Amino acid sequence: MKSITKFSCFLLIIALSACSKPAEQSNDNNVVVSTETKPVVTETTELNIYSARQEHLLKPLLDKFSANNGIKVNLVSGRADALLQRLESEGQNSEADVFVTTDAGRLHRAKTAGVLQRVESQVLTSTLPAQMRDPDGYWFGISQRARPIMYVKGRVDPTQISTYEQLADEQWKGKICIRSSGNIYNQSLVASMIESNGEEATEAWARGLVANLAREPKGGDRDQIRAAVAGECDLVVANTYYLGGMLMGDVEEDRTIAGQIGIIWPNQNDRGTHVNVTGVGVTAASDNRDVAIQFIEFMLSEEAQSHYALENAEYPVVSSVAQSDTLKNWGEFRADALTLARLGELNADATRLMDRAGWK
């Protein structure tokens, strides 16, 4: 139960906002979804979640968690960076108990911003590989994705490139599409290369990559894939779940485009392909710690892990959980075993390096 001061302040906020903000949308199984207001507080046991993942990915799991435990779940969805800023501005007055966000770099930012609290759980540490969680217990991975090299079938011989480092080779001049340096996924990729190859070699690589770009970086990962099939480039660096989402989605044009893309798993003879996570932590402001930990443990259950693999083309973080058919069709690969916390620790170095290399 929140303190009287926090609860009273929250009631005042709700009263003041009732006249100007739209009512929350309720649904079955005690899940309330809102992108505008704070979660509603009742006398029943509740869990308040801030999530950077889209509602449709989490809602079935929240429904199940509520049904299993009799715990009402209130969900606030939004953009990752905006939600982190919101947690920082709310401080100890935040009603959020759990923060779900993408990329180890963002999870590290949340930890260093002081908006997460340390968690000790034998279930979490025994279930989740060490590299997939914060070594100090502030966050835990709940799904993973790879960021490989993708190519247009029939236009590129996939045997011609086998490492990220080869993206800087002159033969690929004018043939690469990739997102901007402001994208956290690219920052984490560069951070992984700094850890593996050192800063000097990684900067030289980044300069070579920039020289090989087919166009100035713009758009998201799906935009890079569409641009490649449209003939603007031959190679793309993108997260696997974007390609999977296009393949499994309702838009026929996207399915057709994605069907023309093949995957190259880089660096299989050394460190492995770069991977990252969606992760979760208990907020520093939460007075509902035990229920929040219970939710995180649920997210590592076979049921929850299978849902992510099937619905969002993400890889389970629990190795015993089966992959979806889409993932199986892409084949097995060796993943970089780097402790993902390092991606956050090296983020500032990676960002400065990308700026020096002229990566826009």
The Cα 104–Cα 344 span in angstroms is: 6
Q: Which residues pair with 149 in a beta bridge?
A: 237, 264
Exposed, middle or buried: residue 197 (CB in 10 Å: 0-12, 13-18, 19+)? middle
Residue 309 pLDDT: 76
Classify residue 251 as exposed, middle or buried by CB count within 10 Å of its CB (0-12, 13-18, 19+): exposed
**What are the pLDDT digits (tens) for 119-164?**
999 999 999 999 999 999 999 999 999 999 999 999 999 999 999 9
What's the pTM value of the predicted model, to 2 decimals?
Answer: 0.85
Give me the phi and psi of 273, to 5 degrees please: -75, 140
Q: Which domains does the chain have, with CATH numbers?
A: 4-145+276-324 (3.40.190.10), 146-274+330-356 (3.40.190.10)
pLDDT, one tens digit per residue, over 162-196 is 999 999 999 999 999 999 999 999 999 999 999 99
Is the pLDDT confidence value at 10 over 90? no
The H or E element containing residue 76 is: strand 72-77
Q: Do the Cβ atoms of 141 and 277 come closer than 8 Å?
A: yes
Categorise residue 129: left if φ over 0, alpha if ψ from -120 to 50, beta otherwise.
Answer: beta
* Three-state secondary-structure class, residue 327: helix
